[in-house]
Chains A and B, each alone.
Chain A
Amino acid sequence: MKVNKSKVSKTTKNDLITYGMVILTYIVVQLLVSTGHVSSLIQGLLVPFCTYVIVAVALNLTVGILGELSLGHAGFMCVGAFASAVFSLAFKEALPGGFRFFLALLIGAASAALVGFLVGIPVLRLRGDYLAIVTLAFGEIIKNIINALYLGVDSNGVHFSMKDALSLHMEEDGLMLIKGAQGVTGTPNDSDFTVGVILILVTLFIVLNFIHSRTGRAVMSIRDNRIAAESVGINVTKYKLIAFTVSASLAGVAGVLYAHNLSTLNALPKNFGYNMSIMILVFVVLGGIGNIRGSIVAAVLLTLLPEVLRGLSDYRMLIYSIVLIVMMIFNWSPNAVFFRKRLQQKLLPGRKAEKEAV
């Protein structure tokens, strides 16, 4: 029993380090801001930082723990962003700020979870690379639909159209919620850096506890060996769906944070498109697949770096793509794995290679 106890405390310790790191960073940043050491440019980036961190952690749950690739996490963000923005706009006057934002969070998370669940049903039964391509397709569908969607509310109730604003036939007093490609305007600015950091901590709490629970073990067993997992009675589709739905809903939370930091919300290729999904994937790969803390560090560094090194901005995407390829070959190529193992044995003889805690 002794061995086992030390293990539990070790993973707990590791999780605490992760939480502590986030809180410490928060305190340092707040100090720097209050003493005027942070440029307004960087200050404007603080909430997007938090958004990227949350969505990167969410994606790592799919890629690292479930072992499937999603290229649609920007799409889930998009769902969370628009669902919550529409809610907050509609109840801008009726509800007080804090409570409204809390409800907006629940709505954003729930709608992204629902969509993730629906996308997951047909795909997670299948093997192979289908999830990647279907989530990619889904991201494009969402963007297309939102750009064609007109939604308004007036004294007669809710109106919607896929054609134009006029065909809504709204009353004079009506309020436009989504104006097609022009998106949502006038969302209350409910999120700030503090809210963002709290949401990061909540996300971490959910993801880390998920991983160390019975459900998380079942999910990881499927990742490691689906056939063996089935043979010991693990319901493969069920646990894949649970993990994917949780991951999608957290991406939705990131979307809520994002939407409530902007006065105008559009579904553009830049923020919710395929490129954004790839960016998030780069964070996850660079931070280490399955390494939650790594995702946080990578998301912050890679967002900060281009701002600091402005001259490199033309080459930024090029560098990301090369990093992606090199990292994958270096970390996953059977030859490289073999080489590293041998090197490890040579350099550190007798040291037992324990599981790296997440």
Chain B
Amino acid sequence: MSFVAHLINGISLGSVYALIALGYTMVYGIAKMLNFAHGDVIMIGGYVVFVTASGMGINPLAAIIISMAACTVLGVTIERVAYRPLRGASPLAVLITAIGVSYLLQNVALLVFGSDTKAFSNVVTLPNLELFDGQLIIKSVTIVTVIVSIIIMAGLSFFVKRTKIGRAMTAVSEDQGAAQLMGINVNGTIAVTFAIGSMLASVAGVLLCSAYPSLTPYTGSMPGIKAFVAAVFGGIGSIPGAFIGGILLGVIENLSKAYISSQLSDAIVFSILIIVLLVKPTGLLGRKILEKV
């Protein structure tokens, strides 16, 4: 039974990774940049819900919507102020800037909210699911997390494949120059990508903090990095890849915590990244891109 419980917890954690990884993978696919600050947007999302729900007593659902709006604005602002001026600059410069933004968000949160851990109250208030006469208890937040991720993943796939903006995103990711010539607003499309990614980050933040109810300015950084590992694992640029990579990573992390060593679980997760890059650099569902000469 305990194996099943660990597995389910792993899938739940993995769903959160998957949501974060979706943001990474979309931005990487379209803007060809690693948005290091993505993990910290999660943390900001968590704080917004904490302040509005626990602090001001606003209805949790409304708090989540406020948080999604705030993160969307934040994501678009970051893109506009820090990343857009560097479009066309060396990837190294963009990457260092993204690290700077990540650091900025952490330190602003540190100054505003302090370094003490905030007790985040679970926004999912449904009863837990008890199976086999109480031998296996599945927390309601676990179920909600998995369901929400599946819905978002399906919605996002539909959005990218079927809507005009979604197809514009695909076009920009294939060839920015050609997309521009076809009359697609490249800057606008990239901004939309950041908006969606950041909105998902806020949802991920709420779910993460509900499952692990402690919030500090550094809450987002480790899950953010792991989600990137998940995105690489699944094949960077691929939406289903991010989802599968996220779930697998969550399961591996939880099982190694339970059966190998809780201290070494992070090391195991990161070793997977190195092994994947060694064996199949394009990830599970990624594809090889020929370079133009």
Contacts and interface: CB of A to CB of B under 8 A. Distances in A.
Direct contact of A and B (CB under 8 A): yes
A38 interface: no
Contacts of B229: 133, 137
Interface stretch (B134-142, B143-151, B159-167, B269-277): B269-277
B2 interface: no
B25 to A, nearest CB: 13
B73 interface: no
Interface stretch (B41-49, B101-109, B188-196): B101-109
Contacts of B291: 227
A329 B87 CA distance: 10
A331 B90 CA distance: 11
A63 B92 CA distance: 8
A328 B273 contact: no
B89 A318 contact: no
Given A144-B264, A144-B266, A320 B85 contact: no
A332 B103 contact: no
Interface stretch (A42-50, A94-102, A120-128, A204-212): A120-128
Given A148-B264, A317-B103, A126 B277 contact: yes
Contact of A122 (B104, B267, B278): B278
Contacts of B104: 318, 321-322, 325
B293 A162 contact: no
A140 B95 contact: no
B93 interface: yes
Contacts of B86: 328-329, 332-334
Contact of B100 (A125, A137, A325): A325
A300 interface: no
B107 A317 contact: yes
A175 B196 CA distance: 57
Contacts of A145: 264, 267
A69 B34 CA distance: 12
Interface in A310-343: 314-315, 317-318, 320-322, 324-325, 328-329, 331-336
A354 to B, nearest CB: 21
Given A122-B274, A141-B271, A318-B111, A333 B89 contact: yes
| Main SS at interface, chain A | helix
A144 B264 CA distance: 6
Interface residues of B, number: 44
Nearest to A122: B278
A134 B273 contact: yes
B213 interface: no
A69 B97 CA distance: 12
A138 B103 contact: no
A68, A126, A322, A333: residue with the most chain B Cβ atoms closer than 10 Å? A333
Given A148-B263, A329-B85, A333-B86, A324 B107 contact: no
Contact of A128 (B91, B96, B99, B264): B91
Contacts of A129: 33-34, 91, 95
Interface of A: 63, 67-69, 71, 119, 121-123, 125-126, 128-130, 132-134, 136-138, 140-141, 144-145, 147-148, 162, 227, 274, 278, 281, 285, 289, 314-315, 317-318, 320-322, 324-325, 328-329, 331-336
Interface of B: 33-34, 82, 85-93, 95-97, 99-101, 103-104, 106-108, 110-111, 221, 225, 228-229, 232, 261, 263-264, 266-267, 270-271, 273-274, 277-278, 281, 291, 293
8 contacts: A71-B99, A123-B274, A128-B34, A134-B274, A137-B229, A141-B266, A321-B103, A324-B99
